[in-house]
Amino acid sequence: MHPNLILTPIVMKKLTFISLFLCICSLCFADVELTSGSLKALDNDGEYAYVEIDWSKAKVVELGSGNKVDKSFGSVDAYNKRQGADWVKDWPRVKRDIVNATAWEKYPGRKCFNKKNKHGLQITVNPQIWKAYHATKDEDEKEDLQDHCVWVNPSKAKYKFVLSVTQVDMGNGAASAFSMKRSTGGAIISGTVRLVEIKSGKTLATIAVKYSKGIGNYSQRIRLIDVVVGEIFGSIPSLK
């Protein structure tokens, strides 16, 4: 059975919040390091950033003991094709939902950027999400976005975070379903995050994501949301 259940987007988002609350685990963590520049912009109350995620150079792997690569599957597109037509079809929506979740105001039982940095810079929805919101006729989806996200026109954002994924272990839904450890089967990501001033295009800070692991869950969508939102971006305010 495909890990992303065939449900309407609004129901999926409601279930995501419930599932994430039930899957909290202290064993999930991110090894991130500020390698250049400064994150002083995070102290700017009343200013905004949005998130872009670049998967184009990501290599999909399966990590074994000692986090050594046991299997390599090539690019994300190659991996999805290997998994089947449903994965290929669902991937654009999964990517969009991950970016959308970075703008959440709170995260059930977990840290997230906007909650941890609530007196400073906030992450709002990115231009693609904003455009999709105004294009859709689904009022439930619109309400869901406004209920959960910092809802400021991204044209007002002074900065953007660019997460470039270099390696991703998509996790294992079956393993997570049969383990008492909530981190079992969680997705693992490595790469870099850059804080960029939009007007000048200048990179203000670079963060190395050496290893970041999220919760285990049967849904690939939830596994990836957690490792990006709960771990990578949830850890950035601590680097100031």
pLDDT exceeds cutoff 80 at 3: no
**Bridge partner residues of 71 (DSSP):** 62
Q: Is the dihedral of CA 208, 210, 214, 216 positive or negative?
A: positive
- 3-class secondary-structure state, position 42: helix
pLDDT per position as a tens digit, 156-215 = 999 999 999 999 999 985 554 444 445 567 899 999 999 999 999 999 999 999 999 988
pLDDT at 72: 96
pLDDT exceeds cutoff 90 at 23: no
pLDDT per position as a tens digit, 65-119 = 888 999 999 999 999 999 999 999 999 999 999 999 999 998 775 679 999 999 9
**Average pLDDT rounded to a whole number, residues 40-61:** 98
**In which band, very low, low, confident or very high, does the pLDDT at 155 lie, cut at 50, 70 and 90?**
very high
pLDDT per position as a tens digit, 130-152 = 998 888 888 887 887 888 899 99
Contact 183, 213 (CB under 8 A): yes
**Average pLDDT rounded to a whole number, residues 49-62:** 98
Give the DSSP letter of residue 66: G
pLDDT per position as a tens digit, 87-97 = 999 999 999 99
**% of the chain beyond a pLDDT of 70:** 82
Contact 23, 215 (CB under 8 A): yes
**Bridge partner residues of 37 (DSSP):** 205
- Neighbouring residues of 92: CB distance < 8 A, sequence distance ≥ 6: none
pLDDT exceeds cutoff 80 at 24: no
pLDDT at 202: 98
- Neighbouring residues of 209: CB distance < 8 A, sequence distance ≥ 6: 30, 31, 32, 163, 189, 190, 191, 192, 193, 232
Pairing of strands 188-197, 48-54: unpaired
Contact 229, 101 (CB under 8 A): yes
pLDDT at 140: 81
User: Chain centroid to CA 152: how far?
Assistant: 19
Dist. CA 117–CA 107, nearest whole Å: 13
pLDDT exceeds cutoff 80 at 153: yes
